[in-house]
Copies of this chain bind each other. A is one copy, B any other.
């Protein structure tokens, strides 16, 4: 028997309507290239969003078409988010930091019809324009005064497009499964893959993000997203904030600038900020050097990669700011887990260990860990296995992919290896492709590397699995010595005894001058494995 409640569709249009009816006076503050201190209110934002929707219609955009953006976090990008999605188009945010050939691939794969471009990215796009066969034209995100000359064909000025359009738009009533936004993963292997978010997923994800033990955004806050709007919708902050009526503070192209972040936080009384560890290092460095405080700031959300303890410690001890670990991925919209501030009686060491974990699943996300054969493993904080997730804001299949991205029993495999404890705390242990499979059991490469890094004479360390006749794989330790040091490989291996399980101890150690790195500075284990393809275990390796 079915319930008899209204079949209202969950759409981003509801967020815009709710914000307009309840919080017309809330502010949006932006840094842009043409105005370092732009400021307006929700009422203005949504009037301009309506104008943009009219302009998109005049440009001939058809329902379902993808509109690409190459833009920073600012009010125009915010308008694009809502004008496209709420009029039935798909907002395709493109990461301008990708390699040019990846950008070309993505625009062509998405079949973007129009590209909205920050003037800063014009040189980049001009070089690619010949290859962007699906693009009908370009819109430069600026006003007439700042409109640059460009070689791009069919190029428009954003403010001129909007100027004469009506400030109200008859938003269509969309089905909640309608596509709203598209974001490509910047996977290290193969071509980028597109995640096509639905309105329903975005609205449910917004509720998840807002939960009191997640972002817990109140209407009287000011929120600073330092995570780019071209990266998983800035963790959905541009949706979550209007749903509660808080002030939005957009840093524009200045996301890595400690001085700008500090000034925005102080002037706009920012209470919560979100970003990857790197931006917090920049901010803390600036605060330290300039002897500046950020009294309004209550908490910082850190995701993207594990947050070093010293960032958490400095925020808390120097600035009274609580740091929350969060974990997610493009395929999860991105919210997976959040490490909330929880009153508990844990001793300091255990409390610190818990805070360094990725936190608990937000309500709406279900997690499990499985072994090689797909069998669920216990949630005891010790067993570790492939982390799989499911829920209404998890990707089911990639854009234009013929087949489901899920396991046969309907879970999405994250590519991470993790532990989950009895209270649901997630601990990411390794990437699936890096974990070492030895005799049917798994060995975490990251844990071995972390230990190796504590040893004298070791500047950098990587552990990879090398095939082994008896055990399938065994760990090989590869180290770069600190300057002037010449560590003895056998002594390094010996040091593991008593510090990790005996069968985890690497079977051999190689000292090298350098390790291969990715564009973002991480050790590239893929390249390392290729470099060591011819490596063979010494004869004397114990079995």
List chain A positions with a Cβ less than 8 A from chain B: 1-8, 10, 14-15, 17-18, 21-25, 63-64, 90, 175, 177-180, 195-201, 204, 207-208, 210-213, 216-220, 243-245, 333, 340, 342-344, 360-361, 363-364, 366-367, 379, 390-399, 406, 410, 412, 422-424
CB-defined A-B contacts under 8 Å, sample of 6: A3-B199, A4-B179, A4-B195, A5-B200, A6-B396, A243-B363
Known: A196-B3, A399-B4. A423 touches B244 (CB 8 A): no
A425 shortest CB reach to chain B, Å: 9
Closest 7 CB pairs of A and B: A3-B198, A22-B424, A1-B64, A207-B207, A5-B201, A8-B392, A4-B196
Query: Within 8 Å CB of A399, what residues of B?
Result: 4
Known: A342-B219, A363-B243. A2 touches B179 (CB 8 A): yes
Q: Is the CB of B219 within 8 A of A22?
A: no
Q: Is the CB of B2 within 8 A of A198?
A: yes
Known: A5-B394, A6-B390. A244 touches B18 (CB 8 A): no
CA A208 to CA B5, docked complex, whole Å: 16
A178, A212, A343: most-surrounded residue (chain B CB, <10 A): A212
Q: Is the CB of B395 within 8 A of A4?
A: yes
* Number of identical monomers bound together in the oligomeric complex: 2
CA A416 to CA B424, docked complex, whole Å: 45
Contact of A218 among B244, B340, B367 (CB under 8 A): B340
Identity of the chain B residue whose Cβ is nearest the Cβ of A365 in the assembled complex: B18
Query: Within 8 Å CB of A364, what residues of B?
Result: 14
Query: Within 8 Å CB of A422, what residues of B?
Result: 24
Q: Is the CB of B392 within 8 A of A3?
A: no
CA A423 to CA B23, docked complex, whole Å: 6
Query: Within 8 Å CB of A406, what residues of B?
Result: 6
Query: Within 8 Å CB of A21, what residues of B?
Result: 361, 366-367, 379, 424
CA A6 to CA B397, docked complex, whole Å: 8
Query: Within 8 Å CB of A5, what residues of B?
Result: 196-198, 200-201, 333, 392-396
Query: Within 8 Å CB of A175, what residues of B?
Result: 2
CA A344 to CA B197, docked complex, whole Å: 36
A2, A22, A24, A63: most-surrounded residue (chain B CB, <10 A): A22
Identity of the chain B residue whose Cβ is nearest the Cβ of A181 in the assembled complex: B3
Query: Within 8 Å CB of A6, what residues of B?
Result: 390-396, 406, 410, 412
Identity of the chain B residue whose Cβ is nearest the Cβ of A362 in the assembled complex: B18
Q: Is the CB of A397 within 8 A of B211?
A: no
Query: Within 8 Å CB of A244, what residues of B?
Result: 211-213, 363
A1, A7, A393: most-surrounded residue (chain B CB, <10 A): A1
Query: Within 8 Å CB of A204, what residues of B?
Result: 10, 207
CA A211 to CA B363, docked complex, whole Å: 13
Identity of the chain B residue whose Cβ is nearest the Cβ of A10 in the assembled complex: B392
CA A363 to CA B224, docked complex, whole Å: 21
Query: Within 8 Å CB of A195, what residues of B?
Result: 4
Query: Within 8 Å CB of A212, what residues of B?
Result: 210, 212, 216-218, 244
A5, A201, A207, A211: most-surrounded residue (chain B CB, <10 A): A5
A266 shortest CB reach to chain B, Å: 18
Query: Within 8 Å CB of A179, what residues of B?
Result: 1-4
Q: Is the CB of A4 within 8 A of B398?
A: yes
Additional A-B contact list (17), CB under 8 Å, known A3-B179, A3-B197: A2-B177, A2-B178, A3-B201, A5-B395, A6-B412, A10-B204, A14-B363, A17-B366, A21-B366, A21-B367, A22-B424, A207-B211, A212-B212, A212-B217, A213-B219, A219-B340, A220-B344
Query: Within 8 Å CB of A201, what residues of B?
Result: 3, 5
A25, A200, A213: most-surrounded residue (chain B CB, <10 A): A213
A207, A220, A394: most-surrounded residue (chain B CB, <10 A): A207
CA A35 to CA B349, docked complex, whole Å: 40
